[in-house]
C-alpha cells in the first residue's frame, strides 16, 4: 500500500486486517500520523517527540531512528453512556489516587458541554510505565472507575 501510494518518508494512518486465510487487507490508509492520541502515545513509548519526527521526515526526508521501546503506554478513553450534556464525572478522585504517578497526559471531559459523537469519546488519559502489566492494571483502574455522567438528550 505504501509503495502504491509512493510514500517513502513520513508516517501513515493505516488500518489493516488479517483474514482467516492469512491475507492482509488494507482497509484505510492516509499519508498522515494517526489520530486519537496514537502519535502522542508512540512518543511516550519511545521518549521521543513523534510529531517532530514526522515533521522532520516530511520536510527533511530524515528519520532519527531506529527508536527503542522504553515504556508501555495505554490510552483510556472516557465516554458518557448516553448522549446529552455532561453533568459530572464520578470515580476520578479514586482513580487519581491509584494511578496519578503513571499519567503523562490527559484531557478530562468538560462539564456543561454536549457529549461527543467521536469514537474518541469525551476525554482521555494517557498512562505510561516501563512495565506493561503495571500499565494494564492502571488502564483497567481508569476505565473501571471513571464515569462520565450526561443528562438525557432532550
Helix (H, G, I), strand (E, B) or coil at 115: coil
Q: How many CB atoms lie within 10 A of CB 45?
A: 17
Per-residue model confidence as pLDDT tens digits over 60-99: 988 888 999 999 999 999 999 999 999 999 999 999 999 9
State how far the Cα of 145 lies from the Cα of 142, in Å rounded to an integer.
5
Burial string for 90-107 (b: 16+ CB within 10 Å, else e) reads: eebeebbeebeebbbebe
Indicate yes or no: pTM above 0.75: yes
Closest CA to 78 of 136, 132, 118: 118
Amino acid at each position: 500500500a505504501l509503495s502504491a501510494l509512493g510514500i517513502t518518508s513520513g508516517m501513515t494512518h493505516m488500518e489493516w486486517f488479517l483474514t482467516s486465510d492469512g491475507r492482509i487487507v488494507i482497509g484505510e490508509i492516509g499519508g498522515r500520523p494517526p489520530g486519537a492520541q496514537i502519535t502522542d502515545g508512540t512518543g511516550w513509548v519511545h521518549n521521543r517527540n513523534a510529531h517532530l519526527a514526522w515533521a522532520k521526515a516530511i520536510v527533511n526526508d530524515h528519520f532519527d531512528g531506529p527508536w527503542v521501546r522504553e515504556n508501555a503506554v495505554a490510552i483510556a478513553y472516557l465516554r458518557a453512556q448516553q448522549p446529552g450534556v455532561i453533568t459530572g464525572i464520578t470515580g476520578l478522585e479514586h482513580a487519581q489516587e491509584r494511578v496519578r504517578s503513571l499519567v503523562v497526559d490527559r484531557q478530562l471531559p468538560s462539564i456543561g458541554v454536549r457529549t461527543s459523537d467521536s469514537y474518541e469519546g469525551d476525554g482521555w488519559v494517557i498512562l505510561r510505565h516501563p512495565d506493561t502489566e503495571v500499565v494494564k492494571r492502571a488502564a483497567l483502574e481508569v476505565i473501571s472507575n471513571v464515569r462520565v455522567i450526561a443528562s438525557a438528550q432532550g
